[in-house]
Amino acid sequence: MHISFLLHNAYGIGGTIRTTFNLAEALAARHDVDIVSVFRHRDEPTLGVPAGVTMKHLVDLRKHSPGYDGDHPDYGRPAQVFPRGDGRWKQYSRLTDARIAAHLRTVETDVVVGTRPGLNVHIARQTRRGPVRVGQEHLTLDSHGYRLRREIGFRYPLLDAVTTVTEADARSYRTRLRLPGVRIAAVPNSVPAPAVEPADSTAKWVVAAGRLTKVKRYDLLVEAFAKVVAARPDWRLRIYGSGDATGNERGALRALVERHGLHNHVYLMGPANPLEPEWVKGSVAAVTSRLEAFGMTIVEAMRCGLPVVSTDCPHGPREIIEDGVDGRLVPPGDADAVAGALLALIQDDDLRRRYGRAALEASSRFDPVRIAERHEALYAELVARGGGAGSRGRGRDALHRARGAVLDLAYTARYRAADVLRKGKPA
C-alpha cells in the first residue's frame, strides 16, 4: 500500500509528531509511506527523518529559503476550510487552505491519514474520490469545544475511519456522534524500545516528564513529594519539561518548591531529548495529570523499566497501567494518595523491582511494529472494501457534501456578522 500522512508541522517536537514518525517508520518496512507537513520552519526535522519515509511540505516558513511563503498575500488571510474550533486555527490561512486542497486533489495514494481534527476536516472535504480517508484523534472528543465537536459531527461522516488512542474515547465517538458507515477503532500510540539498558531500581529518584502546564498538575506532585520527603529525605524528584511562553507555570512551581523547603529535593530540569537516558536514572515515575488523552510518558517510563504512579484520570492511564501489578492508580487531585503510592514503592525494594520488571514486560505491547500491524490491518480492510466513501455510495457522499455546503454558508454569514460588530464597519 501507499500510505500518506498529513501532519501539522513535522519539523517541530511533540507527542503527535513523535508517534506519527514511529508509526510511519514501522509501516515503511512493508509499504510506501510519506509524511506531508503543512508547515516547514527549519531545514531538518528536530526528531530526524524516519527511516524509509519520504518527507514533503506545503508551506515554507524558512526565511532563508528561496521558496519562503511568509510574504505570500494569502498567508495573512484567515483560513476558511481549516475549522476555527481547532486550537491551531490562527496558524492557518487562505494559503494553507489552497495548498492542502491542491495536495489532496492530486495525491496518488491508497490511504490518506490526518493527524488532527482540522486536517481531518480537510481530508473529508477535499480528498478526491478513491483513497481511503482516515482521521486520527490524538486528544479526546471531550477535550474539544462545542464548535469543533459540531464541525466533526458534520464533516467526519465523509471519512472511512476514525482512530482514537484509547477505547474510552472510541466509545465517546461511537455513542455521542452519528457517523454511520465510519469505522471507529482504538489503536494506542507506539513507543520504541529504548536504546539504553532498563533502570535497575536502585537509584533514589522519582522522575516525571511533560510540558509544564496546569493540566499536568505538577503542583500536586510537589505537594505529594513534600510528604514523601518527610518520611524519606534521601529520595529526590526530577521534573523534565518546558514551560509555557510566559514562564508562569515554571515560576509558580519554583515558588511552591521554595515554600515547602524542597530546593534540595525537587529539581525542574527543563526539556530533554532523548528522554530515555533520564528515565533510567530513576526508579519510579510519577504522573499527576487531571487529564491524559493517552499517556505517552507512562509508556516511555514503563519501557525503561520504571513502575508508574499515576492519577486515574481520563482517558489513558487505566488502559496502560494494571493497578497493583506494574504500577499504581490513585484518585486525581489527591496529594495524600500520590504520596502514599510513591512511599509504598520507595519503602519496599522488592516490590519496586517486581513492579519495574512487570512494567517492562507489559509495555512491549506498545512496540511500533505491533501497533503498525493494527493500523495496517485496518487500512487493508478499508482498501479492500473500496475507500474514499465509495463503499457508502455516491448518494450518501453527495448528501454529506450538501449538508457541509449549507454549514459553510451559515458559518460565513455568522463570521461576517461578527466582524461587522467587532470592527463597526462593513465586512
d(CA 227, CA 60): 50
Buried b vs exposed e over 170-200: b needs ≥16 C-beta within 10 Å? bebbeeebebeebbbbbbbbbbbbbeeebbe
Q: How do residues 84-101 score in pLDDT, each as one tens digit?
A: 999 999 999 999 999 999
Same fold, 2-190+370-423 and 205-366: yes
SS3 282: coil
- Tell me how far apart the alpha carbons of residues 3 and 149 are, in angstroms, rounded to a whole number: 27
pLDDT at 243: 75
DSSP annotation of 90 reads G
Give the separation between CA 230 and CA 227, rounded to whole angstroms. Answer: 5
* Average pLDDT, integer, range 215-220: 96
d(CA 390, CA 225): 56
Write down the pLDDT at residue 242: 87
Give 332-372 pLDDT, tens digit per residue.
Answer: 999 999 999 999 999 999 999 999 999 999 999 999 999 99
Q: What is the mean pLDDT of residues 184-192?
A: 97
DSSP bridge pairs for 268: 239
5 pLDDT more than 60: yes
- 373-417 per-position pLDDT tens digit: 999 999 999 999 986 544 454 555 555 555 555 555 555 455 445
Give the CB-side neighbour count of residue 135, counting CA atoms within 13 A.
30
The set of cell numbers assigned to 71 is 510574504
pLDDT category, 128, cuts 50, 70, 90?
Answer: confident
Q: What percent of the chain has pLDDT over 70?
A: 89
Q: What is the pLDDT of residues 285-321, one digit of tens each?
A: 999 999 999 999 999 999 999 999 999 999 999 999 9
Distance between CA atoms of residues 19 and 329, nearest Å: 24
**What is the fold of 205-366?**
Rossmann fold (3.40.50)
Between 368-385 and 15-28, two packed helices, what is the crossing angle to 10 degrees? 70
Residues whose CB falls within 8 Å of the CB of residue 394, separated by 6 or more in sequence, listed in order: none
Domain ranges of the chain: 2-190+370-423, 205-366
| Predicted local distance difference test score (pLDDT) of residue 409 | 53
What is the model's pLDDT at position 274? Answer: 87
Cis preceding-peptide flag for 41 (omega within 30 of 0) = no
Report residue 209 as a C-alpha cell: 516528564
pLDDT tens per residue across span 224-273: 999 999 999 999 999 999 876 556 899 999 999 999 999 999 999 999 88
Considering the chain, what percentage of its residues have pLDDT values greater than 90?
Answer: 85
- 8 Å CB contact between 112 and 141: no
Comparing CA positions, the residue from 111, 10, 180, 120 lying closest to residue 384 is 111
- Full-model pTM: 0.87
Domain 2-190+370-423 has CATH 3.40.50.2000: yes
Name the pLDDT band for 426 (thresholds 50, 70, 90): very low
Give CA torsion, residues 15, 20, 22, 24, to 10 deg.
-170
Judged against a pLDDT cut of 80, whether residue 194 lies above it is answered with yes
Cell matching residue 415: 463570521
How much is the pLDDT for 419?
Answer: 44
- Distance separating alpha carbons of residues 218 and 389, to the nearest angstrom: 44
Tell me how far apart the alpha carbons of residues 133 and 39 are, in angstroms, rounded to a whole number: 21
Q: What is the mean pLDDT of the chain?
A: 92
pLDDT value for 398: 52
Grid cell of 80 as nine digits: 476558511
Q: Is the peptide bond before 274 cis (omega within 30 degrees of 0)?
A: yes
Q: Which of 294, 295, 300, 293 minimizes the C-alpha distance to 274?
A: 300
Q: Which three cell numbers stand for residue 65?
A: 529559503
What is the number of other CB atoms lying within 10 angstroms of the CB of residue 392? 20
